[in-house]
Chain A
Amino acid sequence: MKKNLAPIDRIGRFVLGAVAAFSLLLLVAPSLIVVAISFEPRGFIAFPPSGLSLRWYEHVFANRQLTDSVVVSLWVSLAVAGITLALGVPAAFASVRGTFAGKAAANAFLLAPQMMPGMVIGIASLFFGAYFAFRASNAMLILALSVFCLPFVIRIAMARLAGLDPRLDEASANLGAGKLETFVRVTLPQLGPALVAAAAFTFIEAFDNVTVALFTSDVRGRPLPVELYYLVQYDSTPAIAAISALEIGLSFAIMLVLARTVGLERLGR
Chain B
Amino acid sequence: MSHIALQDIAKSFGPVRVLDGCSVAVNKGTVMTLLGPSGCGKTTLLRTLAGFVEPDGGRVVVGGRDITDLPPNRRQVGYVFQSYALFPHLDVAANVAYGLRVRRVGQAETQARVRKALDLVSLSAFADRYPARLSGGQQQRVAIARALVLEPEVLLLDEPFNALDAKLRLSMQIELRKLIERVGITSIFVTHDQQEAMTLSDRVAVMRAGRIEQVGAPIDIYDRPRTAYVAAFIGRANVLPIDIRGGRVAIDPAIAAARADGAAWLVVRPENLAIENAGEGPGWHGTVAFATPQGATIEYEIAISLAEPLRVVALRKVGEPPAAVGSPVRVRAIDPAACVVLEEGPDGV
Contact = CB atoms under 8 A, between A and B. Distances in A.
B63 interface: no
Interface string A61-72: 000000000000
Interface string B47-59: 0001110000000
B171 interface: no
Interface residues of B, number: 26
Interface in B82-112: 83, 85-89, 98-99, 101-103
Given A171-B79, A185-B98, A176 B150 contact: yes
Main secondary structure of the interface of A (DSSP, over half): helix
B234 to A, nearest CB: 30
B310 interface: no
B345 interface: no
B71 interface: yes
Interface in A154-195: 165, 167-168, 170-178, 181, 185-186, 189-190
Given A181-B102, A185-B98, A173 B87 contact: no
Nearest to B156: A174
A190 B88 contact: yes
B192 interface: no
A175 B83 contact: no
Contacts of A189: 89
B83 A167 contact: yes
Given A168-B85, A185-B98, A173 B71 contact: yes
B73 interface: yes
Given A171-B79, A172-B98, A185-B98, A177 B73 contact: yes
A186 B87 CA distance: 7
Contact of A176 (B50, B52, B73, B81): B73
Given A170-B52, A178-B73, A165 B85 contact: yes
Counting chain A residues whose Cβ lies within 8 A of the other chain, the interface size class is 10 to 19
Given A173-B71, A175-B99, A190 B89 contact: yes
Interface string B63-83: 000000001111101110101
B207 to A, nearest CB: 22
Contacts of A168: 85, 87
Contacts of A175: 73, 98-99, 102, 146-147, 150
Contacts of B99: 175-176
Nearest to A175: B99
A28 B88 CA distance: 38
B96 to A, nearest CB: 10
Contacts of B89: 186, 189-190
Given A165-B83, A185-B98, A174 B88 contact: no
B73 A167 contact: no
A186 B81 CA distance: 16
A171 B50 contact: no
Contacts of B77: 174
Nearest to A179: B73
Contacts of A171: 79, 81, 85-87, 146
B85 A167 contact: yes
Contacts of A174: 50, 52, 72-73, 75, 77-79, 147
Contacts of B51: 173
A176 B71 CA distance: 10
A132 B269 CA distance: 85
Contacts of B101: 185
Interface of B: 50-52, 71-75, 77-79, 81, 83, 85-89, 98-99, 101-103, 146-147, 150
Given A170-B79, A174-B50, 4 more contacts: A170-B81, A175-B73, A176-B74, A176-B103
17 contacts: A168-B85, A168-B87, A170-B79, A171-B146, A172-B87, A173-B51, A173-B71, A173-B73, A174-B72, A174-B75, A174-B147, A176-B74, A176-B103, A177-B98, A178-B73, A189-B89, A190-B88
